[in-house]
Structure 1
Amino acid sequence: MFVPKTEIATMERIVDAIELAAKLPSYQAQAMSWAPKIAAFDPGPIGALMGYDFHLGRDSPQLIEVNTNAGGAFLNVLLARAQKRCCNASQQSAATTQMLDTFEESVFTMFKQEWQRQSAVAMPNRIAIVDNDPKSQFMFLEFQLARQLLQARGIDTVILDPSELDYVDGKLTAHGKPIDMIYNRLVDFAFEEPDHALLKHAYLEGAVVVTPNPHVHAMLANKHNLTLLSDPQTLRAWGLNDAAAECLEKSVPRTKLVSRDEAAALWRTRRQLFLSQLLVMEAKGSIAVAS
């Protein structure tokens, strides 16, 4: 399918508004109030390959969720390049061609900038792509494509399960080789599982650069934050400009925290709502969400 340029521009404005709101001190204080303790540590990186999911319907794009461990970029660029060969010239644009031609360099630059936000050294020597039992993951092929891209630009890259990591004397290693940076694909966003204890220790001691990290997830991807992003009145009171607040009001479905006491009422209106753990998002138009 072809997404109109106007829709893409609108989605970009929504992303800008979200990230602007997330910089407000009052927003950050509220987000931290329900975040795990580890999220208070902010080593600098802002999150590689962030994902903002949208539903495209009759109205303007509607935000579904924000993902810090988003997948799909590496696979989608292959599909887009294959599709481009079949498109009519009228369906192609210079901007699309440029994005496809520069994808690998853009991704490499992104990882380099994430590294430099925390480290004074110019480049990492070794990056580990980390997920639980990575070979069994649906996106394992994408991990391989990411490794191929980074290795082609001179960075030794490995794909690891967290159990393969060791942390001794302030050094994180895997199979005897040091790990400088981790491309984090875990869904344990606070590193709370026992198998992630060594990674958590190394991260908190600044022994490894992790992207995306628990702080970024707490500020942007925690679904509790949708209750803030869908409250333009509060955002304005906290200092968000009118244009950004209006943009979010149109694009973020009204979201609220719910309690067990509301179960009966929620069940009666379930066809108009999207339920996500302790959150309720009011359906707008034909919004459909997969969690």
Structure 2
Amino acid sequence: MSTRCRNACADDDATLAAASLNRQCGCSVVAPAQLHARIVHVLQDTAGLDPTRHAHLFAPQALFVDRDSLATMEHITRALFAVSHAPAYAERVLAWAPPIARHDPRSPGGVIGLDFHLTERGPRLIEINTNPGGLLLNAFALDAVESCMPHAWTTTTSTDAAVAAGTRAWLDEAKAQLGYAPSRMAIVDEDPPAQFLYPEFHLYRQAFEQHGVPCTIHAPAALSWDGHALRDAGGVVDFVYNRLTDFALDAAGSAALATAYRQGAVALSPHPRAHALLADKRNMAVLGNRDFLLSLGLTPGDATVLAGSIPPTVQVTADNREALWADRAQYFFKPANGYGSRGSYRGDKLTRRVWETIAGADYVAQAFEPPGVRISASGIPLKTDVRCYATERGVILFAARLYQGQTTNMRTPQGGFAAVLTTRGEASGMLRKRSPSHS
């Protein structure tokens, strides 16, 4: 236990506020080097886990989150999935989606990631992702957590439970689209070994193969369409776990995959329709409109909690550009189909030159909600957000990201993915019983 935070957590007191602990507790609950070694051992290979490149993949500290905030995030997630099934909502948001998004593969889209900033007014939903990275990496970190207050604070699930739920989500997607379990699959991304989360691809490959589904990893250009089936060098592929950021499958290298998907010859998840319904950032303006949500048939409670969680968001248009520029310090500007914070700008950091370069692009302006704060073991303030990994079945796990800079990154000393700890009790159905064990 850190000497600096002994007064904050030595008494194992569940009555201490999460915000106070995040500013006072300097305890390390995970040993990143040991966690790296565990992943390498599980995979029986380094699988691209580089000690230098991934030095800040995992943070040593956890983020404390109160149970009410977790329950609110679960409520928001349920309400979001309810909206995604409403025909009037689909009609509204598919109006600005690419044509391929109108193809309905008969599945919800697998695991989504909802990114929240925790505020005094409750969780604020900043972004929704349909190809959220880090699920299995964060899952493997769970059982490595040694809480500094084990009687009072715990993780929300276990490694085995999270890995099983995450794996099942994708295999359920394949079965929903194909009508049967997949026989052979591929994890697809551009130049997979170059991807920062490449080690996670191998965790997924191993998990799928343990469920009896042979799995390969490669770029979309390695796939071909023979007029009947999608193939790679090893034979027919009937399921693709899609890690591409080519959300509309309109890149030249995605042509074979796009054709097979349109023909119903391959299960693809997440798919273009899921991205259009859930992750296009222009949708945030719609999801934040309580009256529209009520018109879809949402209950007043669901409409209030979902709309109230979303910072005011507007599309950037010719009519409002100058007004937004004048008030830019109050906004965060994001490309409608952006990902990984690319092309996103804090308004108060935005130059006129950059502003002019994005004039012809599809952008949204979202009212700025400051991220939370976690004090590192060395006393350095780190920004925080919470990612909720979920499917229509419910929340799989919560994880945090600790960072410095304008946007989340994995380059901050003592930053990276962090475990979420919450108080024990019966308030949230997803919290598991865990035997106390002092670090």
Fold-level match, TM-score > 0.5? Answer: yes
What letter is aligned with 2:102?
A
What letter is aligned with 1:75?
L
Instruction: Show the counterpart of 2:125.
Output: 63
Mean CA deviation greater in 59-68 or 248-257: 248-257
Same amino acid, percent of matched pairs: 35
Q: Give runs of aligned pairs for residues 202-281 of structure 1, distance below 5 A.
A: 202-277=260-335, 278-281=363-366
CA shift, 1:63, in A, is 0.5
Q: Which one of 107, 111, 115 corresponds to residue 166 of structure 2?
A: 107
Instruction: Show the counterpart of 2:216.
Output: 158
CA shift, 1:265, in A, is 2.1
SS at match of 2:173: helix
CA shift, 1:103, in A, is 2.2
Q: Give a deviation string over 1:211-244, Cα, whole Å, max 9, x none.
A: 0000111111111111100111222233322111
For the structure 1 residues 176 and 78, does the alpha-carbon distance in structure 2 shift closer, same or farther, using more than 3 Å as the test? Answer: closer
Unaligned runs of 5+ in 1: none
What letter is aligned with 2:166?
V
CA shift, 1:153, in A, is 2.2
SS at match of 1:53: strand
CA shift, 1:285, in A, is 5.8
- In 2, Cα distance between the equivalents of 1:156 and 1:34? 37
Give the TM-score normalised by structure 1.
Answer: 0.92
Q: Give runs of aligned pairs for residues 13-162 of structure 1, distance below 5 A.
A: 13-83=75-145, 85-93=146-154, 96=156, 98-121=157-180, 123-162=181-220
SS at match of 1:82: coil
- In 2, Cα distance between the equivalents of 1:114 and 1:240? 25
SS at match of 2:108: coil
Q: Give a deviation string over 1:246-291, Cα, whole Å, max 9, x none.
A: 1123201111112134333222211111111321112346588838
Instruction: Show the counterpart of 1:5.
Output: 67
- In 1, Cα distance between the equivalents of 2:177 and 2:122? 37
- In 2, Cα distance between the equivalents of 1:113 and 1:196? 23
Q: Give a deviation string over 1:131-156, Cα, whole Å, max 9, x none.
A: 00011011101111111111122211
SS at match of 2:121: coil
Instruction: Give yes or no for contact 2:110–2:270 (8 Å, CA) kept in 1.
Output: yes
Instruction: Give yes or no for contact 1:58–1:285 (8 Å, CA) kept in 2.
Output: no
For the structure 1 residues 25 and 285, does the alpha-carbon distance in structure 2 shift closer, same or farther, using more than 3 Å as the test? Answer: same
What letter is aligned with 1:100?
T
Instruction: Give yes or no for contact 1:166–1:198 (8 Å, CA) kept in 2.
Output: yes
What letter is aligned with 2:137?
L
CA shift, 1:91, in A, is 4.0
Instruction: Give yes or no for contact 1:24–1:240 (8 Å, CA) kept in 2.
Output: no
Q: Give a deviation string over 1:9-44, Cα, whole Å, max 9, x none.
A: 100101111111222221111111111100111111
Unaligned runs of 5+ in 2: 1-62, 336-362, 373-384, 386-405, 409-439
- In 2, Cα distance between the equivalents of 1:112 and 1:72? 18
SS at match of 2:282: helix
Give the TM-score normalised by structure 2.
Answer: 0.62
SS at match of 1:216: helix
What letter is aligned with 1:118?
Q
CA shift, 1:78, in A, is 1.9
Instruction: Give yes or no for contact 1:60–1:250 (8 Å, CA) kept in 2.
Output: no
SS at match of 1:66: strand
- In 2, Cα distance between the equivalents of 1:170 and 1:87? 57
- In 2, Cα distance between the equivalents of 1:33 and 1:7? 34
For the structure 1 residues 130 and 91, does the alpha-carbon distance in structure 2 shift closer, same or farther, using more than 3 Å as the test? Answer: farther
Instruction: Give yes or no for contact 1:235–1:245 (8 Å, CA) kept in 2.
Output: yes
- In 2, Cα distance between the equivalents of 1:87 and 1:208? 47
The alignment covers a number of residue pairs equal to: 287
What letter is aligned with 1:89?
P
Structure number having the greater helix percentage: 1
What letter is aligned with 2:277?
M
For the structure 1 residues 25 and 153, does the alpha-carbon distance in structure 2 shift closer, same or farther, using more than 3 Å as the test? Answer: closer
What letter is aligned with 1:132?
E
SS at match of 2:91: helix
Alignment RMSD: 1.9
